[in-house]
Amino acid sequence: MSLCSTASAPEATIPLDSVAVHLHDRDDVAIAKADLKEGMLLEVSLPGGAPAQIRIVQPIPSGHKVALRPIGKGEPVHRYGQTIGFASCDIAAGEHVHTHNLAMGDLQQEYAFSTEAQPVTWVDPRERRTFMGYRRADGRVGTRNYIAIISSVNCSAHATREIAHHFTKDRLSAYPNVDGVIALTHHGGCSGRIDGPDYVLLQRTLAGMARHPNVGAYLLVGLGCEVNQVSALVRNYELDADCDNASCPTSLLIQELGGVQKTIQAGIATVNRLLPAVNAIQRTPEHVSELTLALHCGGSDSWSGITANPTVGLVSDKVVRQGGSVVLAETPEIYGAEGLLTCRAASPEIGQKLLELVRWWESRAEMLGIEIDNNPTPGNKKGGLTNIYEKSLGAITKAGSTPLTGVYEYAEPVTTRGFAFMNSTGNDWIGVTGQVASGCNLVVFTTGRGSAFGFKPAPTIKVCSNSRTYNRMLDDMDVNAGRILEGVPKDLLADELFELVVAVASGQPSKSEAQGIGEAEFCPWSLGAIL
């Protein structure tokens, strides 16, 4: 028996990149790929420094940030190579970085304009991709062929829904080229000022839906005494110029027709007259240049800005290089990152217009007694996003890298090609309603926590940021971008998503569309005063 003592084995260390993602050389934090246990020892090699070991101070959930170096109180904290806030107390290496020790602070941004607006490398016209779309008389192309029943006011919402819902799949079976009859109802239309901000927003949104390339015909349904008069909507947006005597849509007023049931019957009869003409429209091969994608996110987590959003950004660039368009929205969700977009503005004037929207939101938040940092939801924070600066830096990657060619107000028709920005809230259904009303004919929607979102008349493709949520919500998610964390190249995933965009544009239903989701999500933005 030996009396010699034995030395204990050295403690095992774990390479940082096997359990976390370090996004940028400048970053002070890494994102945990799995739950990190207290006491775990990590081997960290940072640029410009010798390899070091850090010990995890407390349990850190997957998707959350771990400090890679000591950070003093008041020092900036970096992710994506950008400042995401300032330490509200001293932070030790290996410590969890989140709401308890990271504050917003003042970024003191200095803006540059058009310095990174690089020319687009266009796809050779002989190699441009096509999809099967519906070409309209005005030259625009739809990805779907709906009949829309549009209420002018909440008072006519019930009648509007009853007209649309009469047309079940069985009743439409004789019209295979009609994707459905949908009801676009809302909670506005009265108790406001004629020509006031809400009135203008609502009318512009309703007109945008009536004229949408995915709508083959529409019917307006009003009460009769509302502020948002059907006749004013038709006059203000020249909707009567869109049709001839054979196909001009009818406007129904409940008070004139003698009540709800008579209006419903009149509406059903009107749609029956419209169906043959709408069904006669056939899909034809159309260039991808006719696609306008609405880029949106909801239920984001920390992985959204690493996997799903950058993948969508690569697809955005593909669509733009094909001559198509993409529209980013959610102004509160570019806050703190707007300088990265002004650099890409095609002209200083476009960049300044974007900044004017940001300043408008700052004034609006102050007027309402809220903060733009109220935007991240409890779910966003549980998923690892600490504040709006961090959320915005990930959100803007959906827009890829091409120049910003236009900045638009909510539901304003997008007339420029390429990457455009539209002013909206960060709310999913309000934002997408405006994007579709502006002309977007397909929605690409990213999520990390899991979203049930869909939209009619524009089909929605949902891209999930992580495999855990994707597998849990398999019936709702179209693409698993979480595979990037498992080694799948981002370019390969972007190629798959682009092919899915083409297929869905050609008629293949997305997962939300197959479930019939998307009618209740129509929600025009309402700014305020109810009298």
Q: What would the pLDDT profile of 409-453 be if each residue is shown by its tens digit?
A: 999 999 999 999 999 999 999 999 999 999 999 999 999 999 999
3-state secondary structure of 90: coil
Concatenated DSSP letters for 432-479? HHHHHHTT--EEEEEESS------SSS-EEEEES-HHHHHHTTTT-SE
Contact 468, 482 (CB under 8 A): yes
Measured distance CA(90)–CA(81) in Å, rounded? 21
Alpha helices in 250-347 (DSSP H): 254-257, 260-279, 308-321, 338-342
Does 400 score more than 50 pLDDT? yes
Token look-up 């955005």 returns 316
Element (H, E) at 392: helix 388-395
User: CA angle, corner 131, sides to 121 and 171, nearest 5?
Assistant: 150
Structural domains in the chain? 14-103 (2.30.130.110), 134-284 (3.40.50), 293-514 (no CATH)
Predicted pLDDT of residue 266: 97
Does 19 score more than 80 pLDDT? yes
Q: How confident is the model at residue 197 (pLDDT cuts 50, 70, 90)?
A: very high
Predicted pLDDT of residue 3: 47
Q: Which of 110, 85, 106, 105 is nearest to 28 (CA)?
A: 85
pLDDT, one tens digit per residue, over 471-480 is 999 999 999 9
Predicted pLDDT of residue 401: 98
Cα-to-chain-centroid distance, residue 63: 21
Q: How confident is the model at residue 50 (pLDDT cuts 50, 70, 90)?
A: low
Q: How confident is the model at residue 245 (pLDDT cuts 50, 70, 90)?
A: very low
Pairing verdict, β 325-328 and 292-297: parallel
Pairing verdict, β 76-79 and 96-97: unpaired
**Phi/psi of residue 397, each to 5°?**
-70, -15
Measured distance CA(531)–CA(223) in Å, rounded? 19
3-state secondary structure of 42: strand
CB-based contacts of 180: which residues, under 8 Å, 6+ apart?
146, 147, 167, 172, 456
Q: Which of 112, 120, 109 is nearest to 405 (CA)?
A: 120
pLDDT, one tens digit per residue, over 81-95 is 999 999 999 999 999
Predicted pLDDT of residue 243: 59
Does 2 score more than 50 pLDDT? no
Cα-to-chain-centroid distance, residue 236: 29
Measured distance CA(26)–CA(277) in Å, rounded? 60
Measured distance CA(204)–CA(504) in Å, rounded? 27
Q: How confident is the model at residue 1 (pLDDT cuts 50, 70, 90)?
A: very low
